[in-house]
C-alpha cells in the first residue's frame, strides 16, 4: 500500500470527492449541501489548474492499528505558475518499518532531485524550455462525467444529511459522520470484501494485521473548510475499520487523511543552493523534435552476432556489420556485410553484402526507407531506424529474416563498435 505524489494530487479532487461524498458525508439529508460540497471540489480543481498564480498543497495520511502507527505518508507540493517552478517534499514510513524521504525541484529548464539515502544532488538540465502546468483538472477528463453520475447515484440512494455552517466572515464548514448502523449493508459488504483481500492477500506485510473474519467499516467521518470564494482550503477524512485475526484478536484500523490548500497566490518556490554540494549533472535530450540532434554521431560501425542453435546450445558463427559512411537529417548512406567464422561460410545469404542509400521519412524522427544494391548487382528495399535514446540502429532488409538457412537467426538491432 503505497501513496505517491500522483496519488496525493488525485486524491484531493477525485478519490477524495468519491470517498468523502459517499462515506465521510454519507448522512446527507440536504441535496443542496451535497451539491455545495461537490461544487467546492470542482471550483478548487479549476482554480488550482488554471487560475492561481501559486499555492501550496499538503497531504498527510496515517494508518494505525489500535493506536499504533503502521505507516504514514507526508507530502508537500509547492507551485508557482508565473515562473513554472515547483517543489515536492515527501516523507514515508512504510509497512515494513523502513523510512524514505526525497525532495524534487523543477522549473522550465532544470530539475533537481535529492533523497535521504544519498547526499548527491542529481541535476537534469533541458536545452529546450518546458511548459509546466501545476496540475491537470480531473473534471475535464473524458471519464469525469460518468464518475460523477455514479457518485450521484450512490449518494442519492442514501438517507443522509450534511451540516453546512456559514461563518460571519463568509467562510463555510461542512461536516458529516456515519456509524456502523448507518452504513448501507451492501456498501459495507463490498468494502469488507475488499478489505479482506488487502489485509489477507499475498501482498500482506508483517506489520499489517492479517484480518480473516468479522471485517467491517465501524465509523467514517469527515469535514471540509471553504474560504470566502468557495475554494476548499482543507478536507479531512477519518475511517475506522474493525476485524479479527486468526487468533480471534480484534483490531481497529484507523486511516486518517488530511489535504490542505494554503498560501494561495503567495507561495514562493526557491531553487536549491548547490554551492559546495556534491552534484551530478545530466543534459536531457529533446526527443520530441522531428529531427535527430547531431546526426553525425551515428557515422561509424555497428554490429551484432550471427547465431545458430546446435545440439541444444546457441553458437556464434559470425557477425553482421553496418558501416554508416554519411548521415545528415535528410539522407544516410552506408554498407552492410556479414563476416563468418571458418567453416560456416555456407550460411551466407544473397544479401550478405550490400550498399544502401536512404532518405528520412518526414516527421518520423530517425526513420528512413532505403534502396540497396548487392555485390552481385541485385536490387531491393529496406528500412533503417536510428534509436537515439539507446544509441543503436535497427536495420531490416525486406525478407532478410526469411532467409535463415540452417537455423541462422536474424537480429535487427545493431550496437556501436566503440573499441
Residue 170 is part of a domain; what is its CATH number? 2.50.20
* CATH code for the domain of 367: 2.40.128
pLDDT at 155 (0 to 100): 58
Give the domain range for residue 346: 295-416
Query: Domain check: are 317 and 391 in the same one?
Result: yes
Residue 248 within any structural domain of the chain: no
Q: Is 274 found in the same domain as 337?
A: no
* Residue 407, pLDDT score: 76
Q: Give the containing element (helix H, strand E) for 361.
A: none
Asked whether residue 101 is domain-assigned, the answer is yes
Same domain, 260 and 395: no
pTM listed for this prediction: 0.66
The cell for 54 is 501559486
* Cβ-Cβ contacts under 8 Å for 272 (sequence gap 6 or more): 103, 105, 112, 114, 121
- Per-residue pLDDT band for 178 (boundaries 50, 70, 90) equals confident
Per-residue pLDDT band at 153 (split at 50, 70, 90): low
The reply to whether 206 falls in a domain is no
Going by pLDDT thresholds of 50, 70 and 90, the confidence category of residue 22 is: very low
| Same-domain pairing of 264 and 329 | no
pLDDT digits (tens, 9 = 90+) for 239-287: 888 888 889 999 999 999 999 999 999 999 999 999 999 999 998 876 6
Tell me, yes or no, whether 233 and 357 share the same domain.
no
Query: Is the per-residue pLDDT at 102 higher than 90?
Result: yes
Between 384 and 162, the more confident residue is 384
**What integer pLDDT is reported at residue 399 of this predicted model?**
66
311-339: average pLDDT: 94
pLDDT score for 406 = 61
Residue 82 lies in a domain: yes
Residues 6+ positions from 283 with CB-CB distance below 8 Å: 124, 125, 127
The answer to whether residues 326 and 274 belong to one domain is: no
Task: Enumerate residues 6+ apart whose C-beta is below 8 A from 419.
Answer: none
SS3 295: helix
245 in a structural domain: no
Counting the structural domains of the chain, the total is: 2
| Domain co-membership, 181 together with 54 | yes
Rounded to whole angstroms, the Cα distance separating 419 from 412 reads 21
For the chain, how many helices (H) and strands (E)?
5, 20
Region of residue 271 (left: phi > 0; alpha: psi -120 to 50; beta: else): beta
Q: Indicate whether 288 belongs to any domain.
A: no
Do 299 and 379 belong to one domain? yes
Mode of pairing for the β-strands spanning 118-126 and 279-284: parallel
pLDDT tens column, 354-391: 999 999 988 888 999 998 988 888 888 999 999 988 99
Residue 289 lies inside a defined structural domain of this protein:
no
Listing from the earlier edge strand, what are the strands of the sheet with 232-245? 163-166, 172-179, 211-226, 232-245, 250-262, 54-65, 68-80, 85-93, 99-106, 110-115, 118-126, 279-284
* Strand, helix or coil for residue 128: coil
Q: Are residues 235 and 264 in the same domain?
A: yes
Residues 182 and 34 in one domain: yes
Contact 40, 48 (CB under 8 A): no
Residue with cell 554498407: 335
Q: Does 37 share its domain with 66?
A: yes
Residues 100 and 193 in one domain: yes
Q: Confirm whether 261 is domain-assigned.
A: yes
Amino acid at each position: 500500500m503505497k501513496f505517491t505524489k500522483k496519488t496525493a494530487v488525485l486524491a484531493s479532487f477525485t478519490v477524495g470527492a468519491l470517498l468523502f461524498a459517499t462515506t465521510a458525508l454519507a448522512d446527507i439529508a440536504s441535496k443542496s449541501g451535497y451539491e455545495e460540497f461537490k461544487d467546492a471540489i470542482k471550483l478548487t480543481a479549476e482554480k488550482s489548474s488554471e487560475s492561481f498564480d501559486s499555492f501550496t498543497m499538503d497531504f498527510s495520511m496515517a494508518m494505525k492499528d489500535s493506536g499504533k502507527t503502521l505507516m504514514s505518508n507526508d507530502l508537500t507540493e509547492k507551485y508557482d505558475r508565473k515562473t513554472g517552478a515547483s517543489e515536492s517534499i515527501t516523507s514515508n514510513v512504510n509497512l515494513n518499518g523502513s523510512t524514505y524521504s526525497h525532495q524534487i525541484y523543477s522549473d522550465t529548464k532544470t530539475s533537481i532531485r535529492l533523497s535521504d539515502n544519498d547526499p548527491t544532488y542529481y541535476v537534469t538540465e533541458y536545452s529546450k524550455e518546458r511548459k509546466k502546468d501545476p496540475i491537470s483538472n480531473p473534471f475535464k477528463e473524458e471519464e469525469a462525467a460518468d464518475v460523477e453520475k455514479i457518485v450521484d447515484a450512490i449518494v442519492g440512494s442514501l438517507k443522509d444529511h450534511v451540516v453546512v455552517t456559514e461563518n460571519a466572515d463568509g467562510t463555510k464548514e461542512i461536516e458529516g459522520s456515519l456509524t456502523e448502523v448507518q452504513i448501507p449493508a451492501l456498501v459495507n459488504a463490498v468494502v469488507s470484501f475488499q478489505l479482506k483481500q488487502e489485509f489477507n492477500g499475498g501482498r500482506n506485510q508483517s506489520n499489517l494485521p492479517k484480518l480473516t473474519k468479522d471485517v467491517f467499516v465501524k465509523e467514517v467521518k469527515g469535514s471540509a473548510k471553504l474560504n470566502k470564494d468557495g475554494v476548499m482550503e482543507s478536507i479531512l477524512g477519518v475511517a475506522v475499520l474493525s476485524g479479527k485475526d486468526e487468533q480471534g484478536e480484534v483490531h481497529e484500523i484507523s486511516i486518517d487523511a488530511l489535504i490542505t490548500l494554503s498560501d494561495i497566490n503567495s507561495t514562493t518556490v526557491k531553487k536549491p543552493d548547490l554551492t559546495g554540494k556534491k552534484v551530478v549533472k545530466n543534459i536531457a535530450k529533446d526527443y520530441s523534435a522531428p529531427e535527430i540532434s547531431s546526426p553525425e554521431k551515428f557515422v561509424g560501425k555497428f554490429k551484432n552476432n550471427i547465431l545458430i542453435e546446435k545440439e541444444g546450445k546457441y553458437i556464434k558463427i559470425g557477425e553482421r556489420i553496418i558501416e554508416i559512411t554519411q548521415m545528415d537529417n535528410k539522407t544516410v548512406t552506408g554498407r552492410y556485410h556479414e563476416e563468418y567464422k571458418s567453416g560456416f561460410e555456407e550460411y551466407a545469404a544473397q544479401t550478405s553484402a550490400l550498399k544502401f542509400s536512404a532518405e528520412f521519412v518526414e516527421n518520423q524522427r530517425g526513420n528512413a526507407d532505403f534502396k540497396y544494391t548487392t555485390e552481385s548487382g541485385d536490387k531491393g528495399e529496406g528500412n533503417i531506424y536510428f534509436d537515439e535514446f539507446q544509441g543503436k540502429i535497427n536495420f531490416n532488409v525486406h525478407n532478410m529474416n526469411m532467409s535463415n538457412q540452417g537455423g541462422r537467426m536474424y537480429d535487427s538491432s545493431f550496437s556501436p563498435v566503440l573499441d
